[in-house]
Amino acid sequence: MIRKIIPTGNEELDTRLGGGFPYPNIILFEGDHGSGKSALAQQFLYGALRLGMRGLAIVTESRPREYIKSMAEIQIPAEKYYLRGSLNIVSVYLRRFRWSPEHGRLILPTIGEYIDRVHRRYDIFLIDSLTQLFTYATTDLILNLFSKLRIVTSRGRGFLLTIHPSTLPEDLSAKIRGMCDGYLKVSNTVIGGKIYKVLSIVKMKGFPPGGESSLTFDVDPALGIKIVPIKAAKA
37 vs 197: CA distance, rounded Å: 9
- Which regions of 60-193 does DSSP assign to beta strands (E)? 87-91, 124-128, 158-163, 182-191
Is 4-234 CATH 3.40.50.300?
Answer: yes
pTM of the predicted protein model: 0.95
User: How high is the pLDDT of residue 231?
Assistant: 52
User: How high is the pLDDT of residue 126?
Assistant: 98
User: How high is the pLDDT of residue 234?
Assistant: 44
Question: Residue ranges per domain, the chain?
Answer: 4-234
User: How high is the pLDDT of residue 233?
Assistant: 45
User: How high is the pLDDT of residue 95?
Assistant: 62
User: How high is the pLDDT of residue 214?
Assistant: 96
Torsion over CA: 120, 121, 124, 130 (sign): negative
Amino acid letter for position 27 = I
User: How high is the pLDDT of residue 102?
Assistant: 77
User: How high is the pLDDT of residue 58?
Assistant: 98
Pick out the chain residues at pLDDT < 50: 232-235
- Residues 191-210 pLDDT 10s: 888 999 999 999 999 999 99
User: How high is the pLDDT of residue 21?
Assistant: 98
- Average pLDDT along the chain: 93
Name the residue among 86, 83, 26 with its Cα closest to residue 55. 86
User: How high is the pLDDT of residue 99?
Assistant: 67
